[in-house]
Amino acid sequence: MRELYPPRQPYNEGKLKVSDLHTIHFEESGNPEGKPIVLLHGGPGGGCPPVYRQYFDPKKWRLVMFDQRGCGQSKPHAELQENTTWDLVNDIEKLREYLNIQQWVVFGGSWGSTLSLAYSQSHPDRCQGLILRGIFMLRKKEIRWFYQEGASCIFPDAWEEYVKPIPINERDDLLTAYYQRLTSPDAQIRLEAARAWSIWEGSTSKLFPDLEIQNSFGIDAFAEAFARIECHYFINKGFIEPEDKLLLNIDRIRKIPAVIVQGRYDVVCPMISAWELHRAWPEAEFIIVPDSGHSMSEPGIRTCLIEATDKFADW
C-alpha cells in the first residue's frame, strides 16, 4: 500500500474573477517547474481540502487546485445562479490561461470525473492525460440509485436519517422535496436539509463507515454549499443533454492517455458507470479496486491513484 506524500503548503494562492457574480479561489503547490496537473474536486460543491495535495509527488508536479463556483473559499458561498457544468468548464479554461499553462493532466473523482470528461471533450487539445476515479456521469439512473432507491437497501440505517426532513407524502420524489427545502428562504429549513443530505453521502462513502468523515460532512458551512449545489445540478440533470453525452463523445478524447480507478463496492457511484465508460473507451487503462468503496482515501484507491500520478509524471 502506498502512503500519501508529506503535507505541504501552496507556493501560490489567489482569486480569479470568472464572471460578474463569481470569484474562484485557486492554489498551486509542488514544483513551479513541474508538469502541470489540475485537480477537479467532487460534489459538485465539495471544495479542495489540503490533503488532496498529498496524492502528487511535489518534486515532479505543478499541482493546480481550485474551489468551484459557490464552495470552499470561492465567492459567493452556496450560490446557484450562473452555476452550471459549462460555466465550470469555462472557468477551467480561464484558470489555465491565467496561469499561462499550455497543456495539463486532468485529475478528477466522483463529480470531478464528470467535469473532467466534460472539460476534456470540450478542450481535448489542452489535455495531456486523464486520471479518473469513482465514475459518475450524472444520468437519471445514477441519481435515482443514490437519492431515491437502491443504495437505501445497503445502508437502511443511514437512509432513515436521510429521509427524516421529508414528510412521508413527499418521499416519492426526494430530489424535488430536497430542492424545495434547500432553496427555502428559511435558513433553518435549508440547514436541516443540507446536513441530512450531506451526512447521507458521508455515511456511505467508504467500505467501512468512518465517523470522522460523517462529522465533517455535517459541518454547517460545508453542508450548505455541498447539498445546495449538488441538488441544483442533479435536479437540472447536470445541464448535460442528451444524458449519455459524455459516453457519446468519447471519440473526442480516445487518444488521450487515461486511467480509470473504480472501487468494486462503491455505493455512491456504482461500478456499472465505470464499466460502461470502460466498454466505450477500452483504450483507457481500467483498474477495479476489489476492497474499496467510493472515497479516494481508502487504502486501495489511494494506492492506485498515487501510482497513476507517479506514472503520468514520468511520461
Annotated catalytic residues are: 110, 266, 294
Asked if residues 162 and 197 have their Cβ atoms less than 8 Å apart, the reply is yes
- Cβ neighbours of residue 222 closer than 8 Å, sequence gap 6 or more: 47, 198, 216
Distance of CA 161 to the CA centre of its chain: 23
DSSP 90-135: HHHHHHHHHTT-S-EEEEEETHHHHHHHHHHHH-GGGEEEEEEES-
Does the N-terminal peptide bond of residue 50 adopt cis geometry, omega within 30 degrees of 0? no
Q: Which residue type is seen at 44?
A: P
173 φψ region: left (φ > 0), alpha (ψ -120 to 50), beta (else): beta
Tell me how many degrees the CA angle 97-138-209 measures, rounded to the nearest 5. 100
Asked if residues 39 and 52 have their Cβ atoms less than 8 Å apart, the reply is yes
Core vs surface per residue 22-55: b (16+ CB within 10 A) or e? bebbbbbbbbeebbbbbbbbbbbbbbbeeebbbb
Grid coordinates belonging to 43: 460534489
Pairing of strands 61-66, 104-109: unpaired
C-alpha span between 124 and 203 (Å, rounded): 36
DSSP 293-313: -S-TTSHHHHHHHHHHHHHHH
C-alpha gyration radius of the chain: 18
